[in-house]
Amino acid sequence: MSVEIIRDPLWNNIRLDPLAFELIDTPAFQRLRYVRQLGLAFLVYPGATHSRFEHALGTYHLARRTLTLFEEQEEYSRIDDEECQLIRVAALLHDIGHYPFSHALEEIGAMHHEVVAHPLICDGEVAEVLRRELGASAPERIVALIRGESDSPLQGLISGSIDLDKLDYLRRDAFMCGVSYGEIDVDRLINALTLVADPTTGGGEPRVGMVEKGLSALESLLFARYQMYRNVYWHHAVRSATAMYKRLVVDALDTGALDARTLAGFTDEGLLHAIGQRAPSALLERLRRRQLYKRAFECPAADLDGDAGEWIADDRTLTVAVEDALACEVGLQPGELLLDYPTKTQMLGLDLLVQRPYGEVRRVTAAGWEGAINLPKLSDELYHSARWLRIYTSVRLAIDPNKVIALASLSRADVQSRLDAHANLL
pLDDT of 147 > 80? The answer is: yes
* 190 contacts 91 by C-beta, under 8 angstroms: no
Tens-place pLDDT, residues 51-97? 999 999 999 999 999 999 999 888 888 888 999 999 999 999 999 99
Alpha helices in 71-207 (DSSP H): 81-93, 113-122, 124-134, 138-146, 164-177, 186-192
Closest-CA residue to 110 (of 284, 276, 273, 265): 265
Distance (Å, whole) CA 158 – CA 156:
5
Q: How far is CA 374 from CA 188, 221, 288, 366, 421, in A?
A: 21, 14, 44, 9, 47
The residues, ordered by sequence, that sit 6+ positions from 353 with a Cβ below 8 Å of its Cβ are 196, 198, 207, 208, 209, 210, 361, 362, 363, 364
Tens-place pLDDT, residues 94-140? 999 999 998 899 898 888 888 889 999 999 999 999 999 999 999 99
What's the pLDDT at 60?
98
For the whole model, what pTM was predicted? 0.94
Distance (Å, whole) CA 217 – CA 161:
13
- Report angle CA 363, 367, 372 to the nearest 5 degrees: 65
193-197, strands of its sheet edge to edge: 193-197, 206-211, 352-355, 361-364
Three-state secondary structure call for residue 179: coil
Model confidence at 50, pLDDT cuts 50, 70, 90, reads very high
Tens-place pLDDT, residues 11-47? 999 999 999 999 999 999 999 999 999 999 999 999 9
Overall average pLDDT of the 327-342 stretch: 96
Tens-place pLDDT, residues 224-276? 888 999 999 999 999 999 999 999 999 999 999 999 999 999 999 999 999 99
DSSP 133-156: HH-TTHHHHHHHHHTT----TTGG
Model confidence at 154, pLDDT cuts 50, 70, 90, reads very high
pLDDT of 347 > 70? The answer is: no
Please compute, for residue 109, the number of CA atoms within 13 A of its CA located in the half-sphere on the CB side.
14
> Which domains, from first to last, does the chain contain?
4-234 (1.10.3210.10), 242-344+386-420 (no CATH)
What's the pLDDT at 371?
47
Cα 57 to chain centroid distance, Å, stands at 17
Distance (Å, whole) CA 344 – CA 107:
10
Total residues belonging to the chain: 426
**83: number of Cβ within 10 Å:** 16
Distance (Å, whole) CA 58 – CA 163:
13
Distance (Å, whole) CA 13 – CA 23:
19
Q: Which range in 158-172, 185-199, 272-286 is most confidently predicted, on average pLDDT?
A: 272-286
Residue 303 dihedral angles phi and psi, to the nearest 5°:
-90, 0
Helices 52-70 and 81-93, packing angle to 10 deg? 160
Distance (Å, whole) CA 277 – CA 264:
18
Dihedral sign, Cα of residue 215, residue 219, residue 220, residue 224: positive
Higher confidence at residue 374 or residue 145? 145
Tens-place pLDDT, residues 351-377? 788 888 877 888 877 665 654 556 666
What's the pLDDT at 1?
62
What's the pLDDT at 372?
52
State the chain's mean pLDDT as an integer. 91
- In this structure, what DSSP letter does residue 36 have? B
Tens-place pLDDT, residues 285-308? 999 999 999 999 999 998 998 889
Residue 278 dihedral angles phi and psi, to the nearest 5°:
-100, -30
Distance (Å, whole) CA 221 – CA 174:
13
